[in-house]
Amino acid sequence: MIKTIKNMIGILAVSFFLPSCSDFLQTSNPSEVTDAFYDTKTGQEKLLVDIYSKYRSVFNTAELQYYGTDLYMAVTESSDEKMFNGYDASFNSTAGVVSNYWTSLYKIVQENNILLNRAKLTTKDMTEADYNLITAQSRFLRVLAYYYLVETFGPVPFYTNEQSTIITEVTRATEEDIYKFMILELTDIEGALPAKSEEAGRVSNAAVLHLLGKLYLTRAYRTYAEPTDFVNAYTALEKVITKSGHALLDNYADVFDENNQNNNEIIWAIQYGADNNFNGSGNPQQSLFGFNIIALEPDMFVKKQKDKWISQVVLDV
């Protein structure tokens, strides 16, 4: 036993004098992202892609995006879907979906504020064309987030600068001020993007004009409307029809053909690729728009089961 220990000490002693490899234990973590990464053009481009992907959760929040309107109805009678579909006595803001929706939209706002704060013409490899494309997309995506926030919650906290500290106190900006900001932003970037996007999922000038027209039209019915809102809405939307390169398909059914996605009618749509590494849980929207027969006939299944039971009793007799 003593001999074994001595041999081990000898091995350890010799190892101190052996030449070492300087990179033997050096590690590389390619997925690591530091704050400085967003000061680079590559970091800003990747951040922009992440912002696009975050809109998946926004558009998949059916309770707040679709239900309770004259266009859609809930698929099931779950507690959240029921309250937002029918605005019944159970309706309240403590539903988990509300907090998630709010958080998702403010994450989009913050990431856009980071991008717009960091993007500079002086950034390495950043051309003026690159800068205009990146910042115009970011400004559009931030406006869209504020549109959903103000239309869902009314007056909301309003930030256009990157927040680098914990926020402990907030004030709500008025709807009027937020609408002024949104319209000014979109007016300023009109023409900065291609009329029609060459890459599916990218915002184009047509999308800018479409949202701008929607903002004018929405504000036109508010107490803080401006006299030119209807005219400006018409002007913006007329450009989409005549100058965007988009047009209605000849066959209405082709719009819903699964093999005809991103067709000429589509101005902007969130994308899901073939690589599952980047798709999250995938696109669930096919499950959001089913036919809710229970909402039309609440007692249908109960009556069916009762009729079946009566029939069975009669047969048994």
Give the tens place of pLDDT for each residue, 237-259.
999 999 999 999 999 999 888 88
User: Does the pLDDT of residue 291 top 80, yes or no?
Assistant: no
What are 159-186's pLDDT values in tens digits? Answer: 999 888 888 888 999 999 999 999 999 9
Supply the angle between the helices 96-118 and 128-153 in degrees, to the nearest 10: 150
- Higher pLDDT: 307 or 287? It is 287
User: Tell me, what's the pLDDT at 52?
Assistant: 95
User: Tell me, what's the pLDDT at 167?
Assistant: 87
Residues in Cβ contact with 54 at an 8 Å cutoff, skipping those fewer than 6 apart: 104, 107, 108, 111
User: Tell me, what's the pLDDT at 182?
Assistant: 98
Contact by Cβ (8 Å): 149, 182: no
DSSP state of 174: P
Confidence of residue 9 (pLDDT cuts 50, 70, 90): very low
- Helix H, strand E, coil C: the string for the chain is CHHHHHHHHHHHHHHCCCCCCCCCCCCCCCCCCCHHHHHCHHHHHHHHHHHHHHHHHHHCCHHHHCCCCCCCCCCCCCHHHHHHHHCCCCCCCCCHHHHHHHHHHHHHHHHHHHHHHHCCCCCCCCCHHHHHHHHHHHHHHHHHHHHHHHHHHCCEECCCCCCCCCCCCCCEECHHHHHHHHHHHHHHHCCCCCCCCCCCCCCCHHHHHHHHHHHHHHHCCCCCCCCCHHHHHHHHHHHHHHHCCCCCCCCHHHHHCHHHCCCCCCCCCCCCCCCHHHCCCCCCHHHCCCCCHHHHCCCHHHHHHHHHHHHHHHHHC
What are 87-142's pLDDT values in tens digits? Answer: 778 888 888 889 999 999 999 999 999 999 999 999 899 999 999 999 999 999 99
Domain coordinates of the chain in residue numbers?
39-162+172-269+292-316
CATH node for 39-162+172-269+292-316? 1.25.40.390
What are 41-59's pLDDT values in tens digits? Answer: 999 999 999 999 999 999 9
User: Does the pLDDT of residue 290 top 80, yes or no?
Assistant: no
Residues in Cβ contact with 36 at an 8 Å cutoff, skipping those fewer than 6 apart: none
User: Tell me, what's the pLDDT at 257?
Assistant: 86
